[in-house]
Amino acid sequence: MAVRSAHRSSPQIAALPKDRFFNRELSRLDFDSRVLSMAEDQARPLAERIRFLAIVSDSLDDFFQVRVAGLHEQVNATASLTSSDGMSPKDQLDGIGERVRELIERQSDTFSTDIVPALAGAGFKLVDADDLSEADRDLLQQVFLERIFPVLTPLAVDPAHPFPYVSNLSLNLAVMVRDPTRHKERFARVKVPPLLSRFVALPDGHRFVPLEQVIALHLPDLFPGMQIASHHFFRVTRDADLDVDDDEAEDLMAAVQAELVRKRRRGRAVRLEVGPDMSPDVLFLLLRELELGSEDVYLVTGMLDFTGLLSIQGLSNKALVSRAWVPATQPRLQAEGGEPVDFFGVIRDGDLLVHHPYHSFETSVEAFVEQAARDKDVLAIKIAMYRTSGPESPIARALKSAAQAGKQVVALVELKARGDEQANIEWAKALEAAGIHVVYGLVGLKTHAKLMLVVRQEGAGVRRYAHIGTGNYNAATAGMFEDIALFTADPDVTADIAELFNYLTGYSRQTKYRRLLVAPTTLRSGMLKLIQHEALKPEGRIVIKVNNLVDPEVIDALYRASQAGVRIDLIVRGICCLKPGVPGLSEGIRVRSLIGRYLEHSRIFGFGSGPGRHVLIGSSDLMPRNLDRRVEAVVPVADPDLKKEVERFLELELADDTLAWELAENGTWSKVVASRGANTQDLMQRATLGIVGDEGVAAA
């Protein structure tokens, strides 16, 4: 208490240590390491382990396409840049190379020594083409000629044929062919067609050969009359981060489409993955043509690109299919007597909270839009979408139906949602063709908020209903991502959302809101104020759950609050740049991460305890890009019962000893030792089904 009083009364604020941040990029790789541990866990179902192995590969692809590509640009820039932890771009690239090589070695070892035997036990035996019998080869020859050969295009390199462009994330064969008359070797590249299945089944239906090996086995058919000197597998990763100047673009959709084409064709190579048998001469040629250095080469002893393993789960083998969870309908939305629930009546009775994937997306979000489209008294529907389910999803059909019925329908589609740019362009075109007003957000900002507003005629006036959440309007991810959302008719909240839509679709300098915290105007200052307010309390308490904690100003505010005696729990799934447990700086801060079957995706902010506590949910992580360069929306949960519901969920996550990892002062993550066997995701499923009986489930 003496320390707290001194802190409040003294105008002097002690300087925080310079080495108070973890590196952002290395922290991201720590997350990939935790995910890989799930694939290494032999106690988990095989289907889940395969999925986690593929997720790590996909995550590393994204990391190199964006973060590593950005660091390369910084290395080549004239100005010297350092990260908040003091590392130069070159230092970060060196650290990344070391960490990624460790991850690749673990991946390959897990695959070859563990996953492959487990697959064989489940009836899916991966075999090498070199080990096939003559009879198998004869049968495979027919499959190759009928289904694979017609879509292959060998590309030679000689004075008449320049080195071909190798597309991003493509799997390729580098083939050295020899002319038997001239005895001269030439290089050729064969791309493995991405539209074909990664594994080719043998007639018995239990043995499978990787597609690239099938192609390699039949290279003489691609180069008739030539001798095959050698072949080697390789894969290239390129810079794929879009660089669209909103200020200069007269047509944003056209600009995004043009940039997508440019990146696909000319994005700089940033990584070369090769097999262990790659010859020095071929490697030298690839590095020269791709303009890469030896430090950009990653040796993979297992198969290249583990995302191909996801195709295995499409096979009809029960052992390779994940346990299915069927989301339940939120109790207040359960219809009686077979009649559809009146969404508007339910929301008028009080705010409604839904928690995916435990609660059904279909019977909540999709049903809400569908009822709004049918209701003759609904005047307008407005929705802001970042990642979507596509132009034929139930939400899209409902919006089109509403527009055709004469309702005012506005859809804000974020064309720059990374990885979904082309999908969102198609979505936008389909909505525009149906007569929906489609807008693309604000110049210089991505719109990341997840918002929906329905305006309904009721009596002599109108009432507004809103949905605001932490997850996307995407049914597929709603079944795999843990997210939370609020339905409300609160006049202040819905008025704020209406004004936010006006800000997004028209000309507005809106900077104040009644209840919402909105980036880039009020969210940063609002969060800092809530943190600082807790530091003034005798028993301050903060619980925050986010995907990533990176922002230096927010981290410093949390350090100050800890120094003032506030007890702080942070649940950070991915990147965490804050150092917990540092004497004199963050003794009162604990950081944990939950890695489980579902991707923990919700953002929840809890401040204080007792009747005056604040609980907020929303779309924003605590990163500079979210707070300063995106449109984000965070809403307070006002209903006392719903506050308790959110707090009970946070308590479960803080008590979890099955999925949880904890971050130490030195930056190492360690798995929490199981004592009670509390698994948040299992407990939430059981609680959703009304199964109670032990302390953990009752808390849910």
Supply the residues annotated as catalytic. 448
Q: Do 45 and 322 touch, CB atoms closer than 8 A?
A: yes
Other beta carbons within 10 Å of 463: 17
Q: Kindly state the tokens that stand for 214.
A: 């099938």
Other beta carbons within 10 Å of 297: 17
Of 22, 18, 105, 690, the C-alpha closest to 358 is 690
Reported residue count of the chain is 700
Of 376, 381, 379, the C-alpha closest to 395 is 381
Q: What distance in Å separates the CA atoms of residue 402 and residue 473, rounded to the nearest whole number?
A: 17
Alpha-helical segments (H) within 218-363: 219-222, 252-266, 280-290, 343-349
Q: Which long-range contacts (CB under 8 A, 24 or more apart) does 91-100 make?
A: 92/23, 92/25, 92/26, 93/68, 93/295, 94/295, 95/23, 95/25, 95/26, 96/25, 96/26, 96/29, 96/68, 96/71, 97/295, 99/26, 99/29, 99/33, 100/29, 100/60, 100/298
Across the chain, how many H-helices and E-strands are there?
23, 27
Scanning the structure block, which residue is given the tokens 């299945």?
A: 197
Burial class (CB in 10 A: 0-12, 13-18, 19+), 239: buried
Scanning the structure block, which residue is given the tokens 């759950």?
A: 545
Of 414, 416, 356, 410, the C-alpha closest to 385 is 414
Calculate the CA 414 to chain-centre distance.
16
Q: What distance in Å separates the CA atoms of residue 320 and residue 313, rounded to the nearest whole number?
A: 6
Q: What distance in Å separates the CA atoms of residue 421 and residue 413, rounded to the nearest whole number?
A: 10
Residue 29 amino acid letter: L
- Rg of the chain (C-alpha set): 27
Is-cis flag, bond preceding 624, omega within 30? no
List, in order, residues 6 or more apart from 190 with CB less than 8 Å away. 152, 153, 154, 155, 172, 173, 175, 215, 219, 222
